[in-house]
A and B are shown apart, each in its own frame.
Chain A
Amino acid sequence: MVEVNGVSKVFGDVVAVSDVSFSVRAGVTALLGPNGAGKSTLFRVMCGLTPPTKGTVRVLGADARRDRDVRGRIGLAPQQDGLFDRLSALQFVTLAAATEAVAEPEPAARRALGVVDLDPDDSKRVSGFSKGMRQRVKLAAALVHDPDVLILDEPLTGLDPVQRRRMIELFHGLGDEGRCVLVSSHVLEEVARLGSRILVIAQGRLAATGDYRELRELMDDRPHRIRIAVDRPRQFAAALVESGTAVGVSVGADSLVVDTRDVDRLGREVAPLAQRLEARLSRVVPLDEDLESVFRYLVEKR
């Protein structure tokens, strides 16, 4: 349904997307990556909102930038918060339906708002809505014309846990109906529940693809970096290298930084080792548990 071939996008000196290729079929696919990784740019290119600097994108076999028919078969919930603020939710989604050539816009808008748990009869302007409500208005507008391809840029941001679960169920339902649902996120746990297929994008490049379990294994496989605050760092470092637990060590005045491939083993060894060396152990801190470092590892590995 969506084919991305060798796509790059450059803004001035900034390479936002670099030589990305993948194809996406019906079902839910998650695009995972840190903020600024190029996810939104890639979505914009896919929707035809901006042309690629290099490469081609085909959505349902056509270029959305040039093909009006295809534009009517895409539902986009963009990341940016902007809505026509003087309209109510019903007016906004009715406008979306009308501009998507839906035959009966208002009934369709009412249905779409119901799907995202918003009251169609709420006459309040969307400017007075919370972040989560605005997010759901965008989702309703993306769904209202029953699109074949749904592109949802960080759609769960601002939603409470119950709403997140409801929306994830909705996305899966749409995928099961044969639609192509592409959802971006920078939260690993969110993505775990989102899709059986995951595309990891970092620094503008496609860093990895696979299902969640494969990616988790890949991530767990990387070396972990741990800071150990101890009063005898040199002896501690020597012992860890000797035991084979550490693959790299750098020693400071009152701490050492250990690279290890087996973080569980290190965890088991640290306290007994301190006891054996009669060292005073004050802190053990993981240095690279944030998602950024995981993405960095995947990019470098690639």
Chain B
Amino acid sequence: MTAPTPPRTRRHVPSLRAAALTYQVLVRQVLTPGKIVALGALGALMMLVGWVVGLNAGDGGQSAAELLRDGAGYADGFGLIIIVPIVSLVFGSSVLGETREDGTLVYLWLRPMARAPVVAGAAAAAATAALPLTVIPTAAGGWLAADGVAGSADLALAAAAAAALGTAAYSSLFVLVGLLLKKPIIWGIGYVLLWEGLAVGLGDFAARLSLRGYTRSVLSHLGGIDYGFDPYTTTTALVVLAAVSVAGLILAAVRLNRLDVA
């Protein structure tokens, strides 16, 4: 009972290693068959509806520019407003939120690792899980809705980029929400539908506080086509989306450090 404390060398896990380890375990945890099937079905629905829209549009004698504009509107309205935030919400909020609920967070928390790399690894895991389920339906849906006319390949690429950037920003934001709130899915859906869905229509100031305006600007500018909804420059949109991603991670790291861990 009186043995002295053995001397020990200090051991820390380097930040990159900590992020990689967190990513490695959480990407496996977060990708459950149920989530893949449910969210994959949502993506399939978007592509199916896009195909139907494209078929009907092609029969209406519309010009290529009009078809592209419709395709972009569809990629925005279904992909960027619904698919991207919802899929990011499911993976982002659960990637650390579920570990908190089931008690496994302790295996990442009580470790000689800084908090920021843990959060970064978790957000990367959420984004990795979400990206195929957001980028493919948004890009393919836009392309199908434009009926594959000339220029729709550019539209698909722009939609893919906008979806990818949106997924990164939303994932980061929802990792934070998953650490802040219980039942983050309900709060997140409320945010997506009420704020992101309606904010753009509430005026310029409200639109600036939603991510939707920035992702749709990326879609518009990178596609090189005037879709009629490009309130921000590409640089502004990219900077804001990157800033939201980074700010979400920093706040999540602060939150993780102060968390009561079960």
Instruction: Judge whether B6 is part of the interface by a CB distance below 8 angstroms.
Output: yes
Determine the residue in chain A with the shortest Cβ distance to B104.
A82
Determine the residue in chain A with the shortest Cβ distance to B98.
A82
Residues of A near B11 (CB, < 8 A) are 69, 72, 100-101
Known: A50-B260, A68-B112. A86 touches B29 (CB 8 A): yes
A178 touches B110 (CB 8 A): no
Shortest C-beta distance, A107 to chain B (Å), equals 16
B106 touches A78 (CB 8 A): yes
B111 touches A95 (CB 8 A): no
Instruction: Judge whether A247 is part of the interface by a CB distance below 8 angstroms.
Output: no
Determine the residue in chain A with the shortest Cβ distance to B30.
A86
A99 touches B107 (CB 8 A): yes
Residues facing B in A58-89 (CB within 8 A) are 60, 64, 68-69, 71-74, 76, 78, 80-87
Which of A49, A96, A196 has its CB near the most chain B CB atoms (within 10 A)? A49
Residues facing A in B5-28 (CB within 8 A) are 5-6, 8, 10-13, 17-18, 21, 24-25, 28
A95 touches B12 (CB 8 A): no
A98 touches B21 (CB 8 A): yes
Shortest C-beta distance, A48 to chain B (Å), equals 7
Determine the residue in chain B with the shortest Cβ distance to A76.
B110
Question: Which residue of A1, A25, A27, A44 is within 8 Å of B261 (Cβ)?
Answer: A44
Residues of B near A106 (CB, < 8 A) are none
Instruction: Judge whether B202 is part of the interface by a CB distance below 8 angstroms.
Output: no
Shortest C-beta distance, A140 to chain B (Å), equals 12
Residues of A near B260 (CB, < 8 A) are 49-51
Question: Given the complex of chains A and B, what is the CA–CA distance between A26 and B4 in angstroms?
Answer: 8
Residues of B near A82 (CB, < 8 A) are 102-104
Question: Given the complex of chains A and B, what is the CA–CA distance between A87 and B107 in angstroms?
Answer: 13
Determine the residue in chain A with the shortest Cβ distance to B22.
A99
A68 touches B12 (CB 8 A): yes
Instruction: Judge whether A141 is part of the interface by a CB distance below 8 angstroms.
Output: yes
Determine the interface band of chain A, counting residues with CB < 8 A from chain B.
35 or more
Question: Given the complex of chains A and B, what is the CA–CA distance between A95 and B26 in angstroms?
Answer: 11
Which of B8, B10, B102, B112 has its CB near the most chain A CB atoms (within 10 A)? B112
A26 touches B3 (CB 8 A): yes
Question: Which residue of A60, A76, A178 is within 8 Å of B3 (Cβ)?
Answer: A178
Instruction: Judge whether A148 is part of the interface by a CB distance below 8 angstroms.
Output: yes
Instruction: Judge whether A20 is part of the interface by a CB distance below 8 angstroms.
Output: no
A69 touches B112 (CB 8 A): yes
B12 touches A72 (CB 8 A): yes
Instruction: Judge whether B114 is part of the interface by a CB distance below 8 angstroms.
Output: yes
Shortest C-beta distance, A66 to chain B (Å), equals 9
Residues of A near B62 (CB, < 8 A) are none
Question: Given the complex of chains A and B, what is the CA–CA distance between A76 and B111 in angstroms?
Answer: 10
Residues of A near B4 (CB, < 8 A) are 26, 178
Instruction: Judge whether A197 is part of the interface by a CB distance below 8 angstroms.
Output: yes
Instruction: Judge whether A47 is part of the interface by a CB distance below 8 angstroms.
Output: yes
Question: Which residue of B12, B104, B107, B110 is within 8 Å of A101 (Cβ)?
Answer: B12
Residues facing B in A1-44 (CB within 8 A) are 1, 25-27, 44
Instruction: Judge whether B113 is part of the interface by a CB distance below 8 angstroms.
Output: yes
A50 touches B261 (CB 8 A): yes
B103 touches A148 (CB 8 A): no
Residues of A near B106 (CB, < 8 A) are 49, 76, 78
Question: Which residue of B6, B10, B262 is within 8 Å of A178 (Cβ)?
Answer: B6
Residues facing A in B92-131 (CB within 8 A) are 102-104, 106-114
Residues of A near B12 (CB, < 8 A) are 68-69, 72, 101
Instruction: Judge whether B1 is part of the interface by a CB distance below 8 angstroms.
Output: yes
Question: Which residue of A69, A86, A87, A197 is within 8 Å of B1 (Cβ)?
Answer: A197
Shortest C-beta distance, B25 to chain A (Å), equals 6
Question: Given the complex of chains A and B, what is the CA–CA distance between A84 and B108 in angstroms?
Answer: 11
Known: A80-B262, A95-B25, A98-B21. A27 touches B1 (CB 8 A): yes
Question: Given the complex of chains A and B, what is the CA–CA distance between A69 and B4 in angstroms?
Answer: 18
B109 touches A49 (CB 8 A): yes
Residues facing A in B181-214 (CB within 8 A) are none
B interface residues, Cβ below 8 angstroms from A: 1-6, 8, 10-13, 17-18, 21, 24-25, 28-29, 102-104, 106-114, 260-262
Known: A49-B261, A95-B21. 6 other contacts (CB 8 A): A48-B110, A50-B261, A72-B11, A83-B104, A96-B107, A99-B107
A and B contact pairs by CB, cutoff 8 A, 28 listed: A25-B1, A25-B3, A26-B2, A26-B4, A26-B5, A44-B261, A48-B110, A49-B110, A50-B260, A50-B261, A60-B5, A68-B112, A68-B114, A69-B11, A69-B12, A72-B10, A72-B12, A80-B103, A81-B103, A82-B103, A83-B104, A86-B29, A95-B24, A98-B13, A99-B13, A99-B107, A101-B112, A141-B107
7 tightest A-B CB contacts, nearest first:
A72-B112, A178-B3, A82-B103, A80-B103, A101-B11, A26-B3, A82-B102
